[in-house]
Amino acid sequence: MTTPGSYDIEALRAEFPILQRTVGEAGAPLVYLDNTATSQTPDCVVRAIVDGYTRTKANVHRGVHTLSQEATDAQEATRRRVQTFIGAESHEEIIFTRGTTEAINLVASSYCSLLSPGDEIIVTVMEHHSDIVPWQLAAERHGLRLRAIPLREGTSELDLDAFAAMLGERTRVVAFTAVSNVLGTVNPVRRIVDMAHAAGAVVLVDAAQAVAHERIDVRAWDADFIAFSSHKMYGPTGIGVLYGRRDLLDRMPPYQGGGEMISHVDIARSTWAELPFKFEAGTPDFVGIAAFHAAIDWLERTGIERIAAHEHELLVLAESLMDELPGVRIYGRAPGKCAIISFLMGPDASAYDIGMLLDQMGIAVRTGHHCAQPLMHALGVAGVARASFAAYNTADEVHRFVDALRRIHRIFRL
């Protein structure tokens, strides 16, 4: 059986043993639709993790023995793999972090220390809290002003006219998501970057929701910083990437102090290591980083464009079936949206109720405010249920999901 994205879906699903699980009260086959939060991991990545722990577990850099040299080579091979994957000019522009959250915190803490009181940071109302709170902390620390681009009235798209009016001579940083984790809206990255650059601001793009669904070229985007996480792209948890322009990274002070990030230390003062190590204090998750290489290889081998085409087919099918159910409200209808469906059902079924009932039928979705409370306020809701699709989901799973919604519909007599 092939998918609209032209790969063998059954062979692909066989690479993910967790999909054979049963869950819920009736022991139903798992339908995993929480991919926006975290994707599942193929066997090749799990094997790479096991190999790291059973063959090459030794701290990276400075060790002269074989295991340390092998672990170091594996980590640095992943750094170069990330560089080519996103089209960065140099591997020294690739900083390993614990995830998108830490990558954004690094920039907010380090770059904003170079700013002056009264300077401005612009985010958007659709940001994940990880792209709001770090800027709030930086603003409080340095006397900066934080503003947010609203949605265009009656739509799930950003109001770029409002953004243009907000830009000014004190705008120093613009931070925004490439894809909304709630609405699925795909933002016009290059247009926003160009507008920000024209005002003299640097730009950080949160690519956590984009990197597994579209091909990213950092030089085509022309962003100054880009952050994303391995666990949303079929890789290990606890691994993230910050791409930064070398000239900016060179100017920025270290984010954390400790081992690895130093050149020389004495009691009075220290000097810093060259990039990228200046921003990588302490022992990294070198096993996870090495396994991240396998995840990127898997994505490339499967084909990001084919995965995206497959996910889009599932999105269209799911939305068309859900539109037939009275009382179902889908939040996010922007053209070209990512394969994310946030929804509520009638006046009485809360997002939590929906999620619990779906789980009893074997279907995993996410519920709540999705770390996007300002967006929930803009939408006028406390939270939503969210289904999101990945490479291994099937049309049959979409039908099971919507059939389960029909049962919930009857339970609440919507």
The catalytic site residues sit at: 371
Sheet holding 120-124, edge to edge: 94-97, 240-244, 225-229, 202-206, 171-177, 120-124, 145-149
Two structure tokens written together for 154: 């009656």
Residue 388 and residue 184: Cα distance in Å, rounded?
9
Residue 67 to residue 71: CA distance in whole angstroms: 6
Taking alpha carbons only, the member of 383, 389, 337 closest to residue 363 is 389
| Distance (Å) of CA 257 to CA 29, 92, 114, 253, 270 | 47, 19, 18, 10, 10
Rounded Cα distance between 291 and 120, Å, is 39
Dihedral of CA 27/28/33/35: which sign?
positive
The answer to whether the CB of 280 falls within 8 A of the CB of 261 is: yes
Question: What does residue 334 show for φ and ψ, rounded to 5 degrees?
Answer: -65, 140
